[in-house]
Amino acid sequence: MLSENEWKERLTPFQYYILREKGTERAFTGKYDKFYEEGIYYSAATGQPLFNSKAKFNSGTGWPSFYEPISSNAVILKEDNSLFMRRVEVLDSSSGSHLGHVFDDGPPPTGLRYCINSASLIFVPEGEEPPPIVKEYLRKYRK
């Protein structure tokens, strides 16, 4: 596990705010909100695969939204009672980094809406070479 200083070296200041300080992007400002290319979304913190573009939909909320993660063990769900609200936080399962929140107002087949900050994601188009952080994750965990 990285120290907070190591996280600060690895991430941009804005990514650090989102991923490590549980920040939230302003609605409609993230680069993946209205983005619908085919490919895989990875964690900007660890390179772990998180979401397939096939599960992405336009929720109209201003954040990238998915109806399911790429696998059941890609994310951890944790109760979040901050800001006087009751929500469920979505975390990267390999680092515990904050990705966003999940709500029960999504489309079939799950009825869920994983509302994710663009800054917490790295998108790799289908058939393209992944960046070094993704290669590092795959080398480490897919033996």
**Which stretches does DSSP call E strand in the chain?**
39-43, 49-52, 56-57, 65-66, 75-80, 87-92, 98-103, 113-116, 121-125
- Evaluate whether 65 touches 115 at the Cβ level (below 8 Å): yes
Q: Is 115 a catalytic residue?
A: yes
> Among 44, 70, 115, 119, which one carries the catalytic annotation?
115
Helix (H) or strand (E) segment spanning residue 4: helix 4-10
Does the CA dihedral 100-101-107-109 come out positive or negative?
Answer: positive
Q: Which residues are catalytic?
A: 115
